[in-house]
Structure 1
Amino acid sequence: MIRYMGTHTNADGATVYAFLVNGVARELTEDALTRVPGYFESLPAPLQAQVEARRRAGKPGW
């Protein structure tokens, strides 16, 4: 089970998404969200839309 826990910015200024996966904490950068199955789908709908908008606009991280 993958559960979204929150978002923060790392030292490099990149957005990092925190998840709880079967009781183990895991953090992914925005570009990894769609490469690793299940993580993007576990984001709330507003965050999914925000990530997709940045992806379409060609923002850093994609």
Structure 2
Amino acid sequence: MAVVPTPLATALGLRTDPDDRVLDGRGEPVAGRYACGNDAHSIMASEYPGAGCQLGAGPTFGYFAARS
């Protein structure tokens, strides 16, 4: 069986503001829409440094979204 490296998930999800509100094409927040974790644009740009890297970002930015 061949074993080859492959991406595990997306790294360029939906763009968000500091409160994790999803932004539209003009950069304006979409009412009632939030994204965090793998659904949001990664804080690591288009890189995926390794398994588990989203485990800190998901809950942290989810917390910010819940507070807003």
TM over 0.5, shorter chain: no
The one of the two structures with greater contact order (alpha-carbon pairs below 8 A, sep at least 6) is 2
Between structure 1 and structure 2, the one with the greater Rg is: 2
- Compare the two structures and name the one with the higher strand fraction: 1
